[in-house]
Structure 1
Amino acid sequence: MTTINYGMYTMCMIQDGDKILLQNRPGERGFPGFIAPGGKLEFPESLTEGAVREVREETGLIIKPDDLIYKGLDEYVNPQNNFRYMVFNYLACAFKGELLADPPEGELIWVDINEAVSLPMQPWFKRRLLLFFKEGTFEISVVWDEEHQRTVKDKVRMLK
């Protein structure tokens, strides 16, 4: 039997009116550019517990699990390495607290939603960004061919 390895992560877009909170992640942290807070789940925490923790650690803001809106799944599958990387995405429009003065993942800025896509960011995050604000949930599924270094399947679906 083949062992499949899973990487489980959360991402939480924080919205305040027409603005969203993004962090400008430096290159030495990996995935440089603007991105929403998030990170790897710690076992045995739930998906929402992980999202709440990551927001608190990376921004200083406090969100309640009941205030999270599940927006969708972004998954990357590498069959040659038997690896599935899954990001569970949330939107939070209610929060408390103050932003960290020296955030660990990069400078935090409030950006107008319509201007955010023009900021430097990873292509995978740019295509996901506006899906947070569409009605329903999204599913992004990418299958990577490690041997040929290319994407063999790439689907984006909006679900009701």
Structure 2
Amino acid sequence: MSITYKMYTMCMVQDKDKVLLINRPDKKGFPGYIAPGGKVDFPESFVNGAIREVQEETGLIVKDIIYKGLEEFCDPHTNLRYMVFNYLATSFEGSLLENPPEGELLWVNKEEALKLPMQSWFARRFPLFFQEGTFELSYVWDEKTRETLDKTERYYSLAPVQQH
């Protein structure tokens, strides 16, 4: 049995109380507001893929970037494992592109972002970028019936620092 692995990144760019989102048009797939991201090129690392995707889609070069977690979808009928490695960037340099390739760029107040039209999976993941620690979300998904067959959701706090 052959399994197809697709590996992507998503990087939430935060500037104080605002986040940078892309308003993706229907023709691009995943319409609505979403954070920058895309396919990881072989053999680049996941974090370098996230940095590159942010620069290609927004023009910004992210600096302080931290790993937030993994969300994956597995379809047992097509043998597809679709993995998204998620990051949060809290500093950057450069300026926004005038004609971004993936859709209109918009700085949005973090507290207002979930009121915007977006994919349900992105709305579910959105608050996790800002929580302490990391997450691991794994869904067994039947694309034909559009049903979740199984799920694992784990949230990991940062380990306490040992005092000497």
TM-score, normalising length from structure 2? 0.92
- For the pair 1:116 / 2:130, whether they are aligned, the reply is no
Residue in structure 1 matched with residue 6 of structure 2 by the alignment: 7
Residue in structure 2 matched with residue 96 of structure 1 by the alignment: 93
Alignment of 1:144-159 (within 5 A): 144-146=141-143, 148-159=145-156
Residue by residue, what CA displacement relative to the aligned partner does 1:120-146 show, whole Å, maximum 9, x if unpaired?
000000000011000100111110134
User: Percent of aligned positions with the same letter in both sequences?
Assistant: 62
How many Å separate the matches in 1 of 2:52 and 2:141? 30
How many Å separate the matches in 1 of 2:119 and 2:144? 23
Residue by residue, what CA displacement relative to the aligned partner does 1:83-132 show, whole Å, maximum 9, x if unpaired?
10000000000100000011000000100111001100000000000110
How many Å separate the matches in 2 of 1:26 and 1:147? 24
Instruction: Tell me the secondary structure at the aligned position of residue 136 of structure 2.
Output: strand
Alignment of 1:47-126 (within 5 A): 47-64=46-63, 67-126=64-123
How many Å separate the matches in 2 of 1:117 and 1:155? 24
- For the pair 1:131 / 2:149, whether they are aligned, the reply is no
How many Å separate the matches in 2 of 1:142 and 1:93? 29
How many Å separate the matches in 2 of 1:104 and 1:22? 13
Letter in 2 for 1:42: D
How many Å separate the matches in 2 of 1:79 and 1:132? 28
Greater helix share, 1 or 2? 1
Letter in 2 for 1:10: T
How many Å separate the matches in 1 of 2:146 and 2:36? 28
Structure 1 residues 125 and 147: alpha-carbon distance in aligned structure 2, compared to 1, 3 A threshold: closer
Displaced runs of 4+ in structure 1, greater than 3 A?
146-149
How many Å separate the matches in 1 of 2:106 and 2:146? 34
Aligned length: 157
How many Å separate the matches in 2 of 1:117 and 1:71? 19
How many Å separate the matches in 2 of 1:121 and 1:24? 9
Residue in structure 1 matched with residue 137 of structure 2 by the alignment: 140
Residue by residue, what CA displacement relative to the aligned partner does 1:55-86 show, whole Å, maximum 9, x if unpaired?
0000000124xx21100000000011111000
TM-score, normalising length from structure 1? 0.94
- For the pair 1:38 / 2:34, whether they are aligned, the reply is no
Letter in 1 for 2:95: E
How many Å separate the matches in 2 of 1:25 and 1:124? 15
